[in-house]
Amino acid sequence: MKRFDYNEISPDGCIGKGREIAAKGGNWHFHSLSKGCSFNPRPEFNAFLIEDVDADVNYCAFCQEDFTPHCKELVVILHGDSVIEAAAIDPNWEAPPIVQAIEDCLAKKEAWHHHMMKPGCILSPNPKRHVISLERGSSTDIAYHDEDTDPLETLRAIEVMYFASR
């Protein structure tokens, strides 16, 4: 369980809030924090966290339903339509270990989820970098992958696997 300050909003308000912050053109992002997620501040619920990094304000919604539809709608606003398109994956691109670890989870039918921690992220172990984390059922350790710049190729490979498995 992770503690951070947030303003609670309704699950129905998440997409509007994401769009509203995105429209300002600043630094923002969101996370789906499921019941099993190490970062969920209220793990009896599924949580959805939106970080307005520029304003230094966080918003959280909680419910028993899954936030996957919210993720799918907001991830393309944040990273562009191609972030969920399998056809956009470069066949010559060499997958880093975090992508191989997720392929291993899928092969073993092991639960997994990831978080894209952009610079300024309150959950990030290294908020100056672009970090992607992986939590998997067989381990309580969190794996981290980080890059200097927006890791779009890595994120695309992961998002395509994530939405295909849900």
Interface mask (CB under 5 A) for Zn ion, residues 41-80, using x and -?
----------x-----------------------------
Task: Calculate the CA dihedral of residues 164, 82, 131, 122 and round it to 10 degrees.
Answer: -90
* Least distance from Zn ion to the Cβ atom of residue 142, Å: 8
Give the total of residues touching Zn ion (CB under 5 A): 5
Cβ proximity to Zn ion: between 132 and 157 the closer is 132
Nearest CA to 102 among 137, 140, 77, 63? 137
Binding segment for Zn ion among 62-70, 91-99, 113-121, 154-162 (CB under 5 A)?
113-121
User: Is 135 among the residues that bind Zn ion (CB under 5 A)?
Assistant: yes
d(CA 87, CA 110): 25
Residues of this chain, 7-26, that bind Zn ion according to CB under 5 A: none
Cβ proximity to Zn ion: between 135 and 159 the closer is 135
Nearest CA to 162 among 121, 142, 133, 123? 133
Would you give the end-to-end CA distance of the chain in angstroms? 24
Q: Are 61 and 10 in contact (CB under 8 A)?
A: yes
* Least distance from Zn ion to the Cβ atom of residue 140, Å: 12
User: Is 159 among the residues that bind Zn ion (CB under 5 A)?
Assistant: no
User: Is 37 among the residues that bind Zn ion (CB under 5 A)?
Assistant: yes
Look up residue 135 and give its two tokens.
């939590």
Residues that bind Zn ion (CB under 5 A): 37, 51, 121, 123, 135
